[in-house]
Amino acid sequence: MKLNNKGMTLMEIVIVIAISTIVMSIGYMVLNKSYTVTNDQINITNIQNGINITRNLLTDDLKYCNKVYLEYTEYGNEIKVDLNDISSVDEQRSKLALLINNPSNYLKEYRYNIVYGDDYEKGQVYKLKIYEKNKDRYYSLYRESKDDKIIEILSNQKISESGIPLDIVIKNKDKIYSVTLNYLNRKKGRQYTFDIYNESININSNI
């Protein structure tokens, strides 16, 4: 009896390659989808945890503070605005949003300095650091105590088109701080806002 040593034909090889390619493509799509879903879930969890921590810390810090200053550097000039001065704050917030979203020379950092009593050195600082990664703009949020203790609250959060990642204002004629966190969730801009009643501040408004 003769053995058939005939190998695979060219057509059979082409069919095998085609089937293998299809199987590999399907496998890649499944793995990629699984990775995307997992990555999104991790990011959502990080955002939720960061929001909860931010709310809890700011509630404690703003409840009895006397002043809050918005501070940043604009082209070498130090800008410091008392949030109690509502008319000035509105102007600076608009400018801050433009600086953060500047296409080229964007703002790298801004902060809220929370002060207790008349001592500027006592209190907490909430610092936003802004940076670029893969042509996208991100921010990280830190809480810095005057005793040099630093807590990272949020990290590697993509900046939404809303402009100001952490926005703190005083509601006009109310002793209430309104805090807004702007962030991206599944490529959509989101906002989380909460109010904190303050028992110490006096509002100065020109309205």
pLDDT attached to residue 205: 46
Taking only the tens place, the pLDDT of each residue in 155-198 is 888 887 766 899 998 886 668 899 998 887 767 778 889 999 98
Give the whole-angstrom CA distance, residue 99 versus residue 158.
Answer: 16
Mean predicted confidence (pLDDT) in 5-21 = 76
Q: Classify 56 as helix, strand or coil.
A: helix
Give the whole-angstrom CA distance, residue 24 versus residue 30.
Answer: 10
| Domain residue ranges of the chain, discontinuous segments joined by + | 52-197
Taking only the tens place, the pLDDT of each residue in 98-127 is 888 887 778 899 999 999 877 666 789 999
Residue showing tokens 């670029």:
132
Give the whole-angstrom CA distance, residue 100 versus residue 130.
Answer: 8
- CA 173-57-122 angle, to 5 degrees, is 80
| Dihedral pair phi/psi, residue 198, rounded to 5° | -110, 135
- pLDDT band at residue 27 under the 50/70/90 scheme: confident
pLDDT above 90: percentage of residues in the chain: 22
Give the whole-angstrom CA distance, residue 9 versus residue 91.
Answer: 76
Q: Strand locations in 37-187, DSSP E? A: 67-74, 77-82, 109-116, 119-133, 136-145, 150-158, 166-170, 176-185
Pairing of strands 176-185, 166-170: antiparallel
30: number of CA atoms within 13 Å, CB side? 6
List the structure tokens of 98: 């433009």
Question: How many other C-beta atoms can be found within 10 angstroms of the C-beta atom of residue 20?
Answer: 10
Give the whole-angstrom CA distance, residue 91 versus residue 96.
Answer: 9
pLDDT attached to residue 140: 93
Taking only the tens place, the pLDDT of each residue in 38-49 is 666 667 777 788
Question: How many other C-beta atoms can be found within 10 angstroms of the C-beta atom of residue 177?
Answer: 25
List the structure tokens of 38: 């997992």
